[in-house]
Amino acid sequence: MEYRTLGQSGIRVSAIGLGMAAIGRPGYINLGHGQDLDGRSSPADLERHAATLLDAARTAGVTYFDAARSYGSAEEFLARWLESRNLSPPAAIVGSKWGYVYTAGWKVDADVHEVKIHTRENLDRQYAESTALLGTWLRLYQIHSATLESGVLESNAVVSRHADLRQRGLVVGLSTSGPQQAETIRRALAIEVDGEPLFGAVQATWNLLEPSAGPALIEAADAGFGVVVKEAVANGRLTSRNTDLAERVAGLVPEWPLDAIAIAACLHQPWASVVLSGSATVEQLESNLAALSVPRDLLSAIPDLSEDAGRYWGIRSDLSWG
């Protein structure tokens, strides 16, 4: 495993982290998610499954773990696993997020799985919940899916509360989604409190299909932000489950699976602090970790796969929960 520093925070993290969006609840939008869980849908079964995956990640040298209040019981699963394995920082560093409320009630076929609530009241409530579970493991706390439309970056109450958290020693950040990620990141870069930048990290979608946030992420890294890359395999569209694309890439670089190529492309961006694996199985994790061995020059054989950002996010919004 390779290790990097999260921006100017001084926190050392594994270059590949484990995101828990797909293993903290029975439903998610990754292609083939239901197949990955293979009937393990009860809270107890899913927690055992998550622990197996977390153990495999730890064995591989993963030290950074990503969760959110809306990822079902992800924070609870992670907290109990960390305690049972007697891990402490820097062997385990957690980044989590506030801003969405999980509403699916552990049902895959729920009409609504999560609701965005970007208010000071929800921040206070969810921060208390996160810290009660994760304690000193929690080093990065982020606004979940900040957008210009939500107005969260213009809320004086939210900004002030984040400044308080920063004073307590947390790295505060934001995650972004949608075709206007770059604009949201640049707005966050401009926010200061008492003459100092408010945020110290950003978690953004960047992948071979949707690289539009790249220039803004360069600016963020230059400003000292830690950059966490999410959705490196585009919710499964950059894996073997996208048969046509996988076969096309295999014809160019047959020795590496598509997901490893996709994650390697993220790892080789000079601004990336950590790239999240969204694996739901040990086999997927092992394939993702192969990215660490993909040579940089091999990536030059991959053609431009980028899509229009609006099209990419439209496809993502149509993915079904399963």
Residue 169 has pLDDT above 90, yes or no: yes
Average pLDDT estimate for 199-220: 98
Question: CA 120: distance to chain centroid?
Answer: 23
Q: What is the DSSP letter of 299?
A: G
Domain ranges of the chain: 3-318
End-to-end CA gap in the chain:
32
Residue percentage of the chain with pLDDT more than 70 = 100
Q: Which CATH architecture has domain 3-318?
A: Alpha-Beta Barrel (3.20)
Spatial distance between the Cα atoms of 129 and 238, rounded to a whole number of angstroms: 34
Question: For residues 37 and 160, which has the higher predicted lDDT (pLDDT)?
Answer: 160
Is a pLDDT exceeding 90 seen at residue 219?
Answer: yes
pLDDT of 143 reads 98
Cβ(301)–Cβ(241) under 8 Å?
no
Whole-number pLDDT of residue 322: 83
What does the mean pLDDT of the chain come to? 96
pLDDT of 41: 81
Strand intervals (E) in the chain: 3-5, 12-14, 16-19, 64-66, 93-98, 100-102, 114-116, 138-146, 171-176, 192-193, 196-197, 201-205, 226-230, 274-277
pTM: 0.96
pLDDT value at residue 37: 86
Contact 89, 131 (CB under 8 A): no
Measured at the CA of 8, the angle between CA 4 and CA 11, to 5 degrees, comes to 50
Tokens read off for 9? 């925070």
More confident: 182 or 39 = 182
Contact criterion met (CB below 8 Å) for 140 and 201: yes
Across the range 55-80, mean pLDDT stands at 98
- Whether residue 73 has pLDDT greater than 90: yes
Q: Residue 196 and residue 166: Cα distance in Å, rounded?
A: 11
Q: Name the nearest CA neighbour of 274 among 203, 181, 179, 187.
A: 203
Segment 87-116, tens digit of pLDDT: 999 999 999 999 999 998 989 899 999 999
| Token duo for residue 196 | 């100092």
What CA–CA distance (Å, rounded) separates 273 from 17?
10
pLDDT digits (tens, 9 = 90+) for 20-54: 999 999 989 998 888 888 888 899 999 999 999 99
Asked which of 25-29, 134-138, 203-207, 287-291 is least confident by mean pLDDT, the reply is: 25-29
Q: SS3 of 142, please? A: strand
The pLDDT value recorded for residue 11 is 97
Determine the Cα–Cα distance for residues 228 and 223; give it in Å rounded to an integer.
Answer: 15
Q: What's the confidence (pLDDT) of residue 277? A: 98
Cα separation, 263 vs 300, in Å, equals 14
Q: Is the pLDDT of residue 2 over 90?
A: yes
What mean pLDDT is predicted for residues 176-190? 98
Looking at residue 114, its pLDDT comes to: 94
Per DSSP bridges, beta strands 12-14 and 3-5 are antiparallel
